[in-house]
Amino acid sequence: MAKGSKPSPAHGSPSTGGAANFDAASTPLPDFPIVGIGCSAGGLEALGALLSGAPPDSGMAFVVVQHLDPEHPSNLPELLQRDTPMPVVEAGDGMLVRPDCVYVIPPNKDLSLLHGALHLLDPTEKRGLRLPIDFFMRTLADDRQEKAVGVILSGMGSDGMLGLGAIKEKGGLTLAQEPSEARADSMPAGAVKAGVVDIVAPTGELVERIIAYVRHSATHLVDDVQPETGVQSALDRIIVLLRNRSGNDLSLYKPSTLHRRIERRIALLQLDGLADYVDYLRTNLQEIDILFKEMLIGVTSFFRDPAVWEFLRDTALPLLLASNPDGHMLRAWVPACSTGEEAYSLAIVFREALERIKPAGHFSLQIYATDLDVDAVDKARKACYPTNIAADLTPERLARYFVVDEGGYRVNRDIREMVIFAPQNIISDPPFTRLDILCCRNLLIYFGQALQKKVLPLFHYALNRDGILVLGSAETTGGFSDLFAPMDKKTHVFKRINQDARSPWLSFPTRPVVSALVSAPGGRPDHRDSLEHLTDQLIQQRFSPAAVLVNGDGDILYISGRTGKYLEPAAGKVNMNIHAMAREGLRDALCGSIRKALHDPAPIHLDGLQLDNDGRPHTVNITVQGLEKPDALRGRVLVVFNDVKPPPGGRRHRPSPPSDRESALLLELNQLRETLRINQEEMQASMEEARSANEELQVTNEELTTSKEELQSMNEELQTINAELQSKVDDLTWARNDMTNLLNSTEIATVFLDNEMKLRRFTTHATHLFKFIPKDVGRPLSDIVTELDYPNLQTDALAVLRTLIFNEKQVATRDGRWYRVRIMPYRTQDNVIDGVVVTFIDITTIKKLETELRSQEASRGH
């Protein structure tokens, strides 16, 4: 729609006037920014201030989502129309969003965005916890991607925090009102504390900051570093700065991911391009930390993609448990766990699967959750989350696996103890192994192809037989279909294929490289009987020199041509090593030459070597060369044998025997000199290696010294923790003493029983009614002798435990005393019933007074 033809307030009432212009349309408008604004208590004033600063032709649309009373109509559009010349309308189902317009959520509806059109849905909860801001902003992030803008204004609670996280994950812009300015600061302060806000500013400046960001993003994209090589050079410098600051190399991440995150920061800082940003990074170390955090993209939620977790619970995990009928302690790894939601989701699903199938054996699950972000790992360990996680959890899961803590929710202890969190770099640090489950979702999509080709074989190596691999909705195993088979293509859950297929980078060779190269893979046609192959074989055997391929130890990997004149099998056990098979006259020369060729690829020529071939002297020239290409032959050595023909007419001009002997000795001397020279070079190389090893030992010694200091520091920390624990023990001791004195000072006999009616604790005055001794703790109360005439005491206690309704009676003792007996449930701090408390209050004096009063009244009556 052209700006000149947009609806105008003059067309009628703001909520109804010009409504035809806001009807659903079949043709989507060009992509433009949509600003989602969330607010609650105190939000009307902030909304007015924000919209009054918005120009009528900004080219952006504004969608307001406020917490409204579901049972009363809203006049919010009319109120906001006073603050802006833009048309303000109540959102309708199917209404197409247009730039330079304001849309307001109607009461008792949830609002979503799909293909640029608004859609209204009935809320799942009529009252109580509803999160309409999170709901809309998540759909805004999915629909508008990097053109989504989220703003949080004044309000109570934490609604909007997860929505801003979703927008930031997609590369959009997130803003919050300055909390000190907000009338209710819970929502903006919570979002800022969660680290999902890009800009914090007073309300009147927010629109100006949004417009500056949008215009900068459109016009200042790497325009100062042309051509493309300049872009790459600047990007490399940024990666180096990140590596030097954080110790992590991001060079193998997808360039598009790196560019997108860097461009966001450039637009937020209003810089002119990559070159300026590099200079800014070098002078602002805090910006390097911020950029590194953005690169990690640590946005997650509980049970993200519910179908995946349902498949794990109902299908994948039962199959895994069935493969171990006698029980087993399973191991799982969740790399890139962020703040822990996915790791805890896996623990909960495992518990639910166990309860459903009730296996005969005992099963447990140990989850290792790791992430590059140390701050995220610390948050995951605390397991404390805002109240808006209720939108991602069923009421049953929320009630069973979470407890209310500090204005939010905390994962309960049983689930927390299943997960161990640790910082880890999945690229450079050793992986966890012997795993049954590996859940790595939405990480590979940020890796380049080279890095994916490293990580996926690593996952295969880390998993046990028939282990489960869980990937994100946009991730696949790529070209590694020989390592993983899909269990369910829709949910991207895979099963490890149990074959010995390893990636070369893992350095787990299973057969000689040359054998693998020359053998025909299964399923491919064998061309060994072809005309070309037979011709090549004939040429190699009759016309080409004989040669062998050996490794660094001299083991023969491949033989070409006839080598019988130079090599012969050694007596005894079969030994395919060239040093053992070389004939006399060749062995010493080959020994040093092969070792030298491993370090120097230049050909080594050994000419005029004399060997005895069945009593006939024979001269041979040998060429020894180390191989560097192709990569499959790197580290191998090729040894080529060339016969030396005798000079023509040698028989007519045979030299005299002394001359022959002299020549042979001279040749042997030359061979010995060459061997000595090679040995000297090897000795020098060995000395260099020794020096290098000495330096490495010095480095290792320094690392050990550092480790010792770290251990000393850790020991000091442990001592500090021990002192804190001792202080807590002392406090508990005093608290127990105070409680004991309090109970004794009341002179009320008190007995604590567990769920099985066994004695847990008693006060001193209780010994007047029961024959208690300290060793009675843990014995059934029915075994203890009592002075009470109360045979139904245990029956009444069990009834209280069952109904949770306290019981009170007046009971006499055998010696004429009276007691008021009160039985109440015993509640722990976690609101769990764990036995009963029985109190006995002496009312003998009251009973005597009652008897005397009755007697006096009776005497007056007569």
Nearest CA among 156, 110, 107 for reference residue 137: 110
How far apart CA 517 and CA 815 sit, in angstroms, is 101
Instruction: Dig out the tokens for 348 from the structure.
Output: 């909960």
For residue 56, say if its preceding peptide bond is cis, omega within 30 degrees of 0.
Answer: no
Active site residue 159: yes
For residue 306, say if its preceding peptide bond is cis, omega within 30 degrees of 0.
Answer: no
How far apart CA 197 and CA 190 sit, in angstroms, is 10
List all residues 6 or more positions away from 388 whose beta carbon is below 8 Å from its beta carbon. Answer: 129, 131, 134, 157, 158, 159, 161, 162
Is residue 44 within 8 Å of residue 155, measured between CB atoms?
Answer: no
Active site residue 289: no
For the chain, give the longest Cα–Cα distance: 170
List C-alpha distances in Å: 853 to 812, 817, 857, 859: 19, 18, 6, 10
Is residue 101 within 8 Å of residue 17, measured between CB atoms?
Answer: no
The residue written with tokens 């325009």 in the block is 223
Q: DSSP for 114-138?
A: ETTEEEEE--S-SSS---HHHHHHH
List C-alpha distances in Å: 240 to 244, 245, 532, 693: 6, 9, 52, 29
How far apart CA 809 and CA 820 sit, in angstroms, is 6
Active site residue 259: no
Length of the chain: 862
Single out the catalytic residue among 134, 143, 159, 373. 159
Q: DSSP for 607-676?
A: EEEEEEETTEEEEEEEEEEE--SSGGGTT-EEEEEEE-PPPTTTTTTPPPHHHHHHHHHHHHHHHHHHHH
The residue written with tokens 């040998």 in the block is 622
List C-alpha distances in Å: 506 to 255, 424, 854: 25, 19, 96
How far apart CA 770 and CA 558 sit, in angstroms, is 92
What letter would DSSP give residue 392? G
Instruction: Dig out the tokens for 270 from the structure.
Output: 């209003």
Nearest CA among 804, 803, 792, 807 for reference residue 838: 807
CA angle 94/97/98 to nearest 5° reads 140
How far apart CA 855 and CA 9 sit, in angstroms, is 91
Strand partners, 113: 118
Single out the catalytic residue among 15, 40, 246, 345. 40
How far apart CA 582 and CA 588 sit, in angstroms, is 9
Nearest CA among 105, 111, 107, 119 for reference residue 136: 111
Instruction: Dig out the tokens for 423 from the structure.
Output: 């910082």
| Sign for the pseudo-dihedral over CA of 391, 394, 395, 399 | negative
Helix (H, G, I), strand (E, B) or coil at 514: helix
How far apart CA 438 and CA 436 sit, in angstroms, is 7
Is residue 519 within 8 Å of residue 513, measured between CB atoms?
Answer: no
Nearest CA among 513, 511, 329, 503 for reference residue 431: 503
What letter would DSSP give residue 584? T
Label the pairing between strands 604-613 and 556-560. Answer: unpaired
Catalytic (active-site) positions: 40, 67, 159
